[in-house]
Amino acid sequence: MKHWEENGKNEWIDPNYRSFYSKKHLSTSIMKVGITLPNLGPQATKENILQTATQAEKEGFDSLWTITRILWPLRPQTPYGGTSDGSLPVEYQTTLDPLDVLLYIALNTSKVLLGTSVIDMFFFTPVMLAKRYATLDILSQGRVISGLGLGWSKDEYQASNVPFQNRAERADEFIQAMKKIWTDDVVEFKGKYYNIPASKIDPKPIQKPHIPVHLGGFSSNTFSRIVKYDLNGWLGVVGGPLENIENCINTIKDNATRSNKNPDNFRTIMLTYPNLVEDKSSSSDGKNRFPLSGSIDQIGSDIQRIKAMGVDHIIFGYNFVPIGRDVTKVIDLSKELSRFAR
């Protein structure tokens, strides 16, 4: 691939992706495959996290991901979009900090990429979050992917002492400030919501010019923000018809074209929650089958369709299904499914 340049450290530099990856992770003919770590729910134990990480790296998976939730309100002000009745899954009652878990894994692995899916940025200041990511990137030797979101829970905003209003403006400033912290020798930022006096804020991340940033969300503002601030791409989640995902990807590409930017510079990572149905009688080929559910072949067909849309990286999540409590089954199922992504 002539657009890659070797940097002499058994790594390749992609000017479009603007980060370092080992040769193992780079190919235009396959889709990268990641697995969520068990950092929430009853399976969130040191032993399960370490076993998942070490087995995943041994089996050649590309990435490991953590999920964020800071509280489980008894009387939520905002319904959860992932369930029909708006209730939060009980697994969210127990969560280990996503960055601390990745730091633990960074010190016990050497190759696998480490991502957040996603961290709600406003529950930090730009300086503190940028420093935590930079620390993780340094200690992992440049293996971090930053998945960021704006958050949706009014209760979490309240607990973080952050106004729920004006999130779009606040996000614009946060992203600009964080990129400055990662790239500028002298960092200075003056905004409506965030201010940083002229300062030295070191060390910088290993990845240059900065850690890859993928923004989560489904709003038009999310897609325009990715392009406007030259982020690395979108981190989506399959929560309905796959046509919705394809429309979102096309919207980002259209925004890039209108902005005179290369659409291929913006990549897509997709979080999925495979639900293997062992009982063939309940596994249907009909329109009522939810994406990524059914038999191995049915789920595999969905994975191939996702790949055909141009998704670069797929994540298999098991945090909310019984199989997620058995690390061996998680790895085995992920190995079966990953062959559809290769």
Q: Are residues 46 and 107 in the same domain?
A: yes
Please give the pLDDT value at position 21.
Answer: 45
Show contacts of 123-128: CB within 8 Å, 24+ apart.
123/70, 123/151, 123/156, 123/160, 123/162, 125/194, 126/173, 126/174, 126/177, 126/178, 126/181, 126/189, 126/194, 126/196, 127/177, 127/181, 127/196, 127/201
Residue pLDDT, tens place only, 81-115: 989 899 999 999 999 999 999 999 999 999 999 99
What pLDDT does residue 27 have? 43
Q: What percentage of the chain carries pLDDT values higher than 90?
A: 87
Please count the structural domains in the chain.
2
As beta bridge partners, residue 14 has 19
CA nearest to 38, candidates 104, 130, 84: 104
Note whether 15 and 128 are same-domain residues: no
- Whole domain around residue 175: which residue ranges? 34-338
Give the model's pLDDT for residue 4: 31
Q: What is the pLDDT of residue 288?
A: 80
Asked if 12 and 42 sit in the same domain, the reply is no
In this structure, the dihedral spanned by the alpha carbons of residues 102, 21, 109 and 272, taken in order and rounded to 10 degrees, is: 50
**Is residue 26 located within the same domain as residue 99?**
no
Residue 6 pLDDT greater than 50, yes or no: no
How much is the pLDDT for 312?
A: 97
Average pLDDT across the chain, whole number:
91
Whether residues 46 and 25 fall in one domain = no
Which CATH number belongs to the domain containing residue 201 in this structure? 3.20.20.30
pLDDT recorded at residue 216: 98
Is 247's pLDDT higher than 70?
Answer: yes
Tokens representing 60 are 């050649």
Alpha carbon separation from 77 to 41, 72, 87, 149, 289 (Å, rounded):
22, 11, 11, 19, 31
DSSP 204: P
Given a contact cutoff of 8 angstroms between Cβ atoms, the answer to whether 167 and 193 are in contact is no
pLDDT computed for residue 308 by the predictor? 97
Lowest mean pLDDT among 83-87, 159-163, 186-190, 309-313: 83-87
Whether residues 117 and 188 fall in one domain: yes
- Residue 267 has phi, psi (to 5 degrees) of -105, 160
144 and 168 fall within a common domain: yes
Same domain? For 327 and 202 the reply is yes
Task: Please indicate, yes or no, whether residues 322 and 231 belong to a single structural domain of this protein.
Answer: yes
Contact between 37 and 49 under an 8 Å Cβ cutoff? The reply is yes
**Residue 297 · residue 45 · CB < 8 Å:** no
pLDDT value, residue 26:
44
In whole angstroms, how far apart are CA 266 and each of 50, 86, 119, 231, 235?
32, 32, 20, 7, 11
Q: How far apart are the first and last CA of the chain?
A: 18
pTM of the model: 0.91
Query: pLDDT for 255-297, tens place per residue?
Result: 999 999 999 999 999 999 999 997 665 555 556 899 999 999 9
168 with 242, same domain? Answer: yes
Buried b (16+ CB within 10 A) or exposed e, 302-332: bbebbbebebbbbbbbbbbeeebeebeebbe
Nearest to 294 by CA among 306, 304, 282, 305: 282
Q: Please give the structure tokens belonging to residue 150.
A: 């704006």
More confident residue, 24 or 263: 263
Q: Where are the beta strands (DSSP E) in 8-117?
A: 11-14, 19-22, 32-36, 63-66, 113-116
- Residue 325 sits in the same domain as residue 257: yes
One domain, residues 203 and 72:
yes
Give the pLDDT of residue 256. 98
